[in-house]
C-alpha cells in the first residue's frame, strides 16, 4: 500500500483539488525548494524571494481547483512563481542579479585564495546576470540552474519554445562576453 508521500503527483493534485490539505502539504514539500530557487535566482534578494515563493504557494492553493491537468502542476506552479518574480523584478529594476548560492564553491576551495576567487567569480556572474533583461534572465535561470526543457520554460513564461531558445542564446552570449576575463 502506498503511503501519502509515495503517491504519484497527479493523485496528490487531484486529492488537493478535492480539499485534502495533507496532499497539498506534500506537494508543497516536493516543490518548495525549486519555487524558492526560481524566485531567488530571478530576484537576487532572499526576503523578496521568500515572499514571492510564499505568494506563489498560497495562490496555487487558492487556484488549484482551476488546474485542468494534474500532470501540469509543476509547470503551472513554476509559471506562477516566475511571473510573480518577474513582476517584482520589473517593479524595482534591481541592481542585484539572480542570486547564486556559491557556498559550495568556497567549501571546495583549498584556502583563502580559492575562496576569494570563488567569491569574485560569483560576484562577476551576479553582475553579468544583472545586465540581462528579465525575460532572458528567467529563461536562463530555468534552463541552466533548474534544468528545465525549452517546452516547459515556454509554458512557464508564456511564450514559444523558439522565443525561449532565442532568449537563452542571447543570455549566454551576454554572459560569455561579460565573463571573458574569467576564462
Give 89-98 pLDDT, tens digit per residue. 777 653 444 4
Q: How far is CA 48 from CA 11, 36, 44, 67, 81, in A?
A: 32, 10, 8, 26, 12
Provide the pLDDT confidence category of residue 104 given band limits of 50, 70 and 90.
very low
CA distance 126 to 42: 11
Q: H-helix or E-strand containing 36?
A: helix 21-43
Provide the pLDDT confidence category of residue 112 given band limits of 50, 70 and 90.
low
DSSP secondary structure letters along 84-143: HHHHHHHHH--SS------HHHHHHSSSHHHHHHHHHHHHHHHHHHHTS-HHHHHHHIII
pLDDT, tens only, 121-180: 777 777 788 788 888 988 998 888 888 889 889 888 889 999 999 999 999 998 888 888
pLDDT of residue 102: 43
pLDDT, tens only, 16-38: 999 999 999 999 999 999 999 99
For residues 98 and 137, the answer to whether their CB atoms sit within 8 Å is yes
CA distance 76 to 135: 17
Please state the pTM of the whole predicted model: 0.67
Amino acid at each position: 500500500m502506498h503511503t501519502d508521500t509515495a503517491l504519484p503527483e497527479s493523485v496528490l493534485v487531484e486529492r488537493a483539488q478535492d480539499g485534502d490539505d495533507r496532499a497539498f502539504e506534500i506537494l508543497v514539500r516536493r516543490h518548495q525548494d525549486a519555487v524558492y530557487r526560481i524566485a531567488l535566482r530571478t530576484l537576487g534578494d532572499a526576503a523578496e524571494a521568500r515572499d514571492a515563493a510564499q505568494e506563489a504557494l498560497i495562490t496555487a492553493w487558492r487556484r488549484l481547483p482551476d488546474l485542468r491537468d494534474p500532470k501540469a502542476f509543476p509547470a503551472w506552479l513554476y509559471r506562477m512563481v516566475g511571473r510573480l518574480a518577474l513582476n517584482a523584478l520589473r517593479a524595482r529594476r534591481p541592481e542585484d542579479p539572480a542570486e547564486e548560492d556559491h557556498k559550495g564553491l568556497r567549501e571546495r576551495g583549498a584556502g583563502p585564495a580559492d575562496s576569494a576567487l570563488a567569491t569574485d567569480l560569483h560576484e562577476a556572474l551576479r553582475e553579468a546576470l544583472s545586465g540581462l533583461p528579465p525575460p532572458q534572465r528567467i529563461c536562463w535561470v530555468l534552463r541552466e540552474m533548474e534544468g528545465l526543457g525549452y517546452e516547459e520554460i515556454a509554458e512557464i513564461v508564456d511564450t514559444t519554445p523558439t522565443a525561449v531558445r532565442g532568449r537563452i542564446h542571447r543570455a549566454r552570449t551576454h554572459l560569455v562576453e561579460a565573463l571573458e576575463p574569467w576564462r
